[in-house]
Amino acid sequence: MRRKRLIDHLGIDKLLAVAGGSMGGMQVLQWLAAYPDKVRAAIPISTAICHSPQQIAFNEVGRQAIMSDSHWNGGNYYDGVSPSKGLAVARMVGHITYMSEKSMEDKFGRQAKADRNPFKFATAFEVEGYLQHQGKKLRGEV
């Protein structure tokens, strides 16, 4: 792990705590498994021991959304335009995975949007509006 090399390079013998949420929580668990003598305390937050096949699939859809953006440039976009459209779609996919089907049903149901226009190719349901808002938020549009 690169992080371990950094800790060694800095001359740190033992970490007081390793903390992380979601996938970062998986990193916490990996630290415990790989370097139990280097970690005094672990704080895994909202995580699991491994991803399910469905989670791996959603992650791949998000990755492909980013890589399909015309601004992807092989990941070399730090001094240029970021693949913000792909990132927005990936964030929408991510938000689907953050909520259970039951919680989405409770929050949104099949509630139609108030400003719905049935003759336009636009969002018809509140859940669609929620996902689009999350994508726009990532892009700094709201």
pLDDT confidence band for 2 (50 / 70 / 90): confident
- Both 73 and 105 in one domain: the answer is yes
- Both 72 and 120 in one domain: the answer is yes
* Beta strand residue intervals within 13-140, DSSP E: 15-21, 39-45
- Both 27 and 65 in one domain: the answer is no
Instruction: Give pLDDT, residue 116.
Output: 64
- Both 36 and 83 in one domain: the answer is no
For residue 13, what are the domain limits? Answer: 2-45
Number of domains in the chain: 2
Structure tokens at 103: 């919680």
| CATH number of the domain encompassing residue 111 | 1.10.1740.110
Instruction: Give pLDDT, residue 78.
Output: 84
pLDDT at 71 over 70: yes
- Both 28 and 71 in one domain: the answer is no
- Both 84 and 104 in one domain: the answer is yes
The Cα-based distances of 13 to 40, 102, 122, 123 in angstroms read: 11, 45, 56, 54
Instruction: Give pLDDT, residue 3.
Output: 78
- Both 117 and 63 in one domain: the answer is yes
Instruction: Give pLDDT, residue 122.
Output: 76
Give the Cα separation of 83 and 80 in Å (integer).
Answer: 10
* Beta strand residue intervals within 38-129, DSSP E: 39-45
- Both 74 and 128 in one domain: the answer is yes
- Both 60 and 32 in one domain: the answer is no
- Both 87 and 39 in one domain: the answer is no
Q: What is the pLDDT of residues 29-46, one digit of tens each?
A: 999 999 999 999 999 998
Beta-ladder partners of 15:
39
The Cα-based distances of 48 to 43, 64, 67, 79, 96 in angstroms read: 12, 24, 26, 35, 17
